[in-house]
Amino acid sequence: MLFPPSHLPSKPLRVVITGAGVITALGRGWRPNAEGFRAGRRAFRPVSLFDVSHQRVKVAAEVDLPELGSEAFPAGRLGRRQLDRLDRAGKMLLLAAQEAWKQSGWQTSEPDADQLPLVLGTTAGGMLLGEAYYRQAVQHPTRQRQQATRAVQYQPQSQGRMVLEALGCSGPVTVISNACASGANAIGHAWDLVRAGRTERVIAGGYDALGQLVFCGFDSLQALSTTVCRPFDAQRDGLALGEGAGIVNMETLDSARRRGAEILGELIGYSTAIDLHHLTQPQPQGKTTVAVMQRACAEAGVTPEGIDYINAHGTGTVLNDNSEATAISEWAGRRAATLPVSSTKAGIGHLLGGAGAVEAVVCLMALREQWMPPQTHFETPDPACKFPVVTRPQDAPLNTVLSNSFGFGGVNAALILRRWA
Amino acid sequence: MSRIFVAGMGAVSPAGWDVGAMRDALDRGVPLPVQSLARPGWDRTLCVRLVPTPIPRPEFLAHPRLRRSSPITHYAAAAALEATAGLRGQAEDEDLRLGIVVCLQTGCVQYTSRFYEETLKNPATASPLFFPETVYAAPTSHVAALLENVVVAHTLVGDSSAYIQGVALASEWLADWRVDACLIIGAEETNWIIPDALRHLDRKAVVAAGAGALCLCRDEMLSSGVELAAITDAHSFASGRSRSLAAKTMREQLGKCAPGEFLADGLGNNPRTDGAEQLAWSDWTGARISPKRVLGEGMMAAAAWQFISACDAVARGQFTAANVSLVGANQQALGARVIAG
């Protein structure tokens, strides 16, 4: 029963990550992404997915998706008809989930495989199908072909169900849509579930695909960079959009040890709160961000001195980066002067609902392989930055890292991950 | 484990702008009149049940955050204010940490359609005023700003069963002492595209708009006389588990109900879509109510109306316990029970 819960542990359980899946414009899977992030590679190119001839901005970080039915696109237990119903977002989600599943070594024969929770974060779900539905309904009002399928499949819970079907398991699907904090909130909520003993294992992450509506939306707000996306640079002029998915398989430390699983890292802190300042603008001093970072650290039992690197939300917009830089500087105090910070959105763009999840996977990579992801196009730090921005590829002894995520609407989230050694 | 109580309820529905109007309509048991919506490219119209225009215009709509917001935010805000009315009189009101969980199935369709329509015509002139309001999280943000003392907020998207997931999430936040009270809001608005899409799946359904809000708390002194007794697991339809099996498992998990209990179910008027839930409750002989049959297919709002109907029946002393059954369209089945307390 979800309420009242039974068998709750007397103290919070330790939660580790044993599987991770990622797909971005840098590539599919851990290795190409780790190499790309480590080198600070940028993955932007002219948009080919829809017409951008009338937009101010014409580039984004598009993912190269493998052909359905090819060896690079494992179908799991899905049939061809089911795969055909997935849009780009669903396909990226499926690829990331399968990579995480394989890496974790989880089996469908395990007793809880029919009650395995899936917690997803997304801002748009299957919006590309929604766009297709709308276009056909308006441009060909009497044509009904595929409309019923689109009406069902554009809903993100349908995509979540499809993931569980592909993996051969079943369980509750929770979809969190806190705008661009969604992915971090999904992982944080999943952490809450495992830590509190409500489940032993959980799949969590975030995803979003590039679509015309969202691209045009950010362009209409003049939030997209017309030059180069440069988070925290004094000359920054906006964000760049990307697409992708990040999934982590999380379980109790006891479960991982019992299975003899390889542990990729430990999630030790999470906090979330809402900034009531404005629908699309953060509170300039980043007060909510400070509070969220403080609470996440308190959960993790660390101070700013114990954080070795911050993967910032760092969108590249004037307002976001100013607020976040002010918040990090205040929260870190004297530690700020030596605390390395970077935003991987400089390389793969803003993945919206996928951002927080992919960035959590980037943090895992950095912890596992002991490097910090640089922002290679960075010239002049914003005066609000009291911290060094990582601008060159470099190895670093990382033990504990923090990842920030913020969304339209004001939700702030911070995750803290620790190296497993 | 903390006990959790219902501190208040709020509803906006085709019957009107409060729980009383909804209750009266449900007590009459007569389906509300339908309105017609034009669909682009068609001579025929689509049938819906819209929320009546409030007269006079509620004062809260003058809040700076709500001036340009879409109807779904207005409905959610009105339901939230009604559900928290009892809290606002408390001496410690300012210190009360409030959580919000807003549950949506289709979300902000009016501005989304308008923005996409403009995008298709000429993306260079699409209005930047519309885009932020297309985001699922927009109503949550506006309601949080209106209520002010909100410390944590989530937006959940799913089929109607996600409303009970929202109640479960709120109960976790309360149990963990992250909040002192928590609102769970189910809300929907409509335009032509929702009934157009739904007719592919359920030709008999009449789409409805509105919202419902439930305010939960730990403090028994704030209780409206209703206590949360049980929430079942979420029984997914994935991996070969049919809706019928999921509904049946949910029903079994709620256990045997005592004579004299009440049931708020999610039945509409379509044997095909109602079949799984009907079968799961085929042994039910007690009193029951099916809000959708009177108010319409309000999706997440309808789920909230169900939950509120159950709580309202207990709060008014008509029953000592009430059950809520939510067998979603394409996700999962969940059930809940409330008791006098």
Q: What is the rounded distance in angstroms from the CA atom of residue A135 to the CA atom of residue A121? A: 26
Substitution target in A112, A136, A157 with the highest count of B β-carbons within 10 Å is A157
Q: What is the rounded distance in angstroms from the CA atom of residue A122 to the CA atom of residue A204? A: 11
Select which of A169, A297, A313, A363 is catalytic.
Answer: A313
Does B201 touch chain A if contact means CB atoms closer than 8 Å?
yes
Q: Within 10 Å of residue B92's Cβ, how many Cβ atoms?
A: 9
- pLDDT of B306 > 60? The answer is yes
Select which of A180, A297, A363, A385 is catalytic.
Answer: A180
Q: Which pLDDT value is given to residue B1?
A: 64
* pTM for this predicted structure: 0.98
Output the six-digit token pair for A394: 């470099």
Does A123 touch chain B if contact means CB atoms closer than 8 Å?
yes
Residues A4, B40: C-beta atoms closer than 8 Å: no
- pLDDT of B92 > 90? The answer is no
Q: What is the rounded distance in angstroms from the CA atom of residue B92 to the CA atom of residue B104? A: 31
DSSP-derived letter for residue A306 is G
Q: Within 10 Å of residue A324's Cβ, how many Cβ atoms?
A: 27
- For chain B, first and last CA: distance in Å? 16
Q: In sequence order, what are the residues at sequence separation of 6 or more whose Cβ sits closer than 8 angstroms to the Cβ of residue A283? A: A275, A277, A323
Phi-psi region of A27 (alpha: psi -120 to 50; beta: other; left: phi over 0): left
Q: Which of A192-201, B110-119, B191-200, B234-243 has the lowest mean pLDDT?
A: B234-243
**Digit-coded pLDDT (tens) for B164-196:** 999 999 999 999 999 999 999 999 999 999 999
Phi, then psi, of B223 in degrees rounded to 5:
-70, 140
- pLDDT of B299 > 60? The answer is yes
- pLDDT of A58 > 90? The answer is yes
**A182-197: average pLDDT:** 97
Does A282 touch chain B if contact means CB atoms closer than 8 Å?
no
Chain A partners of B193 at a C-beta cutoff of 8 Å? 133-134, 137
Residues A156, B157: C-beta atoms closer than 8 Å: yes
Nearest CA in chain B to A77: B239
Q: What is the rounded distance in angstroms from the CA atom of residue A153 to the CA atom of residue A316? A: 33
Instruction: Tell me what percent of the residues of chain A surpass a pLDDT of 90.
Output: 94
The last residue of one of the domains, among B196, B222, B248, is: B222
Residues B113, A134: C-beta atoms closer than 8 Å: yes
**A306-322: average pLDDT:** 98
Q: How far is A313 from chain B (nearest CA, A)?
A: 18
Q: Which of B158, B239, B336 sits opposite A164 (nearest CB)?
A: B239
To the query of whether residue A350 is one of the catalytic residues in this protein, the response is yes
Q: Which pLDDT value is given to residue B87?
A: 87
Regarding whether B91 and B202 lie in a shared domain, the answer is yes
User: Domain count of chain B?
Assistant: 2
**Digit-coded pLDDT (tens) for A22-55:** 999 999 999 999 999 999 999 999 999 999 999 9
| Mutual angle of helices A355-369 and A30-39, in 10-degree steps | 80
Regarding whether B336 and B320 lie in a shared domain, the answer is yes
Residues A1, B126: C-beta atoms closer than 8 Å: no
Find out whether A205 and A160 touch, Cβ atoms under 8 Å: no
Asked, colleague to colleague, whether A16-265 and A269-418 share their fold, the answer is yes
Q: Within 10 Å of residue A376's Cβ, how many Cβ atoms?
A: 18
Q: What is the rounded distance in angstroms from the CA atom of residue A153 to the CA atom of residue A146? A: 10
Residues B230, A4: C-beta atoms closer than 8 Å: yes
Chain B partners of A122 at a C-beta cutoff of 8 Å? 157
Regarding whether B259 and B202 lie in a shared domain, the answer is no
Does B231 touch chain A if contact means CB atoms closer than 8 Å?
yes
Q: How far is A274 from chain B (nearest CA, A)?
A: 5
Output the six-digit token pair for A391: 């601008």
Regarding whether B197 and B150 lie in a shared domain, the answer is yes
Does A220 touch chain B if contact means CB atoms closer than 8 Å?
yes
Nearest Cα neighbor of A179 from A14, A419, A412 is: A412
Domain of residue B139, residue span: 5-222
Q: Which pLDDT value is given to residue B139?
A: 98
To the query of whether residue A313 is one of the catalytic residues in this protein, the response is yes
For residue A160, give the 3-state DSSP assignment. helix
Regarding whether B246 and B295 lie in a shared domain, the answer is yes
Does B198 touch chain A if contact means CB atoms closer than 8 Å?
yes
A176 falls in which pLDDT band (50, 70, 90)?
A: very high
Buried b (16+ CB within 10 A) or exposed e, A195-205: bbbbbbbbbbb
User: What count of residues does chain A have?
Assistant: 421
**Digit-coded pLDDT (tens) for A355-375:** 999 999 999 999 999 999 999
B94 falls in which pLDDT band (50, 70, 90)?
A: low
- pLDDT of B134 > 80? The answer is yes
**A191-216: average pLDDT:** 97
The last residue of one of the domains, among B177, B195, B222, is: B222
Written as one string, the DSSP assignment of B91-151 is TTGGG--EEEEEEESS-SHHHHHHHHHHHHH-GGG--TTTGGGGSTTHHHHHHHHHH--EE
Phi-psi region of B240 (alpha: psi -120 to 50; beta: other; left: phi over 0): left
Q: Within 10 Å of residue B259's Cβ, how many Cβ atoms?
A: 6
Output the six-digit token pair for A14: 């330790």
Q: What is the rounded distance in angstroms from the CA atom of residue A263 to the CA atom of residue A104? A: 8
- pLDDT of B91 > 80? The answer is no
Regarding whether B49 and B178 lie in a shared domain, the answer is yes
DSSP-derived letter for residue B90 is S
- pLDDT of B93 > 70? The answer is no
Q: What is the rounded distance in angstroms from the CA atom of residue B15 to the CA atom of residue B32? A: 7
Regarding whether B198 and B120 lie in a shared domain, the answer is yes
Chain A partners of B196 at a C-beta cutoff of 8 Å? 137
Regarding whether B245 and B202 lie in a shared domain, the answer is no
Q: Which of A137, A170, A219 sits opposite B239 (nearest CB)?
A: A170
- pLDDT of B258 > 90? The answer is no
Q: How far is B338 from chain A (nearest CA, A)?
A: 11
Find out whether B162 and B156 touch, Cβ atoms under 8 Å: yes
To the query of whether residue A180 is one of the catalytic residues in this protein, the response is yes
Q: Reply yes or no on domain A16-265 having CATH 3.30.1280.10.
A: no
Mean of pLDDT over chain A: 96
Q: How far is A187 from chain B (nearest CA, A)?
A: 13
- pLDDT of B239 > 80? The answer is no
Dmax over CA atoms of chain B, in Å, equals 64
Q: How far is B299 from chain A (nearest CA, A)?
A: 13
The last residue of one of the domains, among B192, B207, B222, is: B222
- Residue of higher predicted confidence among A224 and A421: A224
User: With a CB-CB cutoff of 8 Å, which residues 257-316 of chain B face chain A?
Assistant: none
- pLDDT of A326 > 70? The answer is yes
**Digit-coded pLDDT (tens) for A73-111:** 988 899 999 999 999 999 999 999 999 999 999 999 988
**Digit-coded pLDDT (tens) for A126-158:** 999 999 999 999 999 999 999 999 999 999 999
What is the radius of gyration, based on Cα positions, of chain A? 20
The CATH number for B334's domain is 3.40.47.10
- pLDDT of B140 > 80? The answer is yes
B322 falls in which pLDDT band (50, 70, 90)?
A: very high
- Residue of higher predicted confidence among A135 and A7: A135
Distance of CA A378 to the CA centre of its chain: 23
Residues A3, B230: C-beta atoms closer than 8 Å: yes
Nearest Cα neighbor of B306 from B338, B330, B332 is: B338
Regarding whether B186 and B304 lie in a shared domain, the answer is no
**Digit-coded pLDDT (tens) for A101-115:** 999 999 999 888 889
Q: Between A and B, how many CB-CB pairs are < 8 A?
A: 227
Q: Which of A173-187, A338-352, B250-264 has the lowest mean pLDDT?
A: B250-264
Does A298 touch chain B if contact means CB atoms closer than 8 Å?
no
Q: Which pLDDT value is given to residue A94?
A: 97
CATH of span A269-418: 3.40.47.10
Q: Which pLDDT value is given to residue B204?
A: 87
B256 falls in which pLDDT band (50, 70, 90)?
A: confident
- For chain A, first and last CA: distance in Å? 36
Q: Within 10 Å of residue A86's Cβ, how many Cβ atoms?
A: 23
Phi, then psi, of B13 in degrees rounded to 5:
-150, 175
| Structural domain boundaries in chain A | 16-265, 269-418
Instruction: Tell me what percent of the residues of chain B surpass a pLDDT of 70.
Output: 98
Q: How far is B15 from chain A (nearest CA, A)?
A: 28
User: With a CB-CB cutoff of 8 Å, which residues 112-131 of chain B face chain A?
Assistant: 112-113, 115-117, 119-120, 122-124, 126-128, 131
Substitution target in A274, A277, A294 with the highest count of B β-carbons within 10 Å is A274
Q: Which pLDDT value is given to residue B257?
A: 81
A7 falls in which pLDDT band (50, 70, 90)?
A: confident
Regarding whether B266 and B171 lie in a shared domain, the answer is no
Substitution target in A279, A294, A317, A412 with the highest count of B β-carbons within 10 Å is A279
Written as one string, the DSSP assignment of B1-48 is ----EEEEEEEEBTTBSSHHHHHHHHHHTPPPPPEEEE-TT-SSEEEE
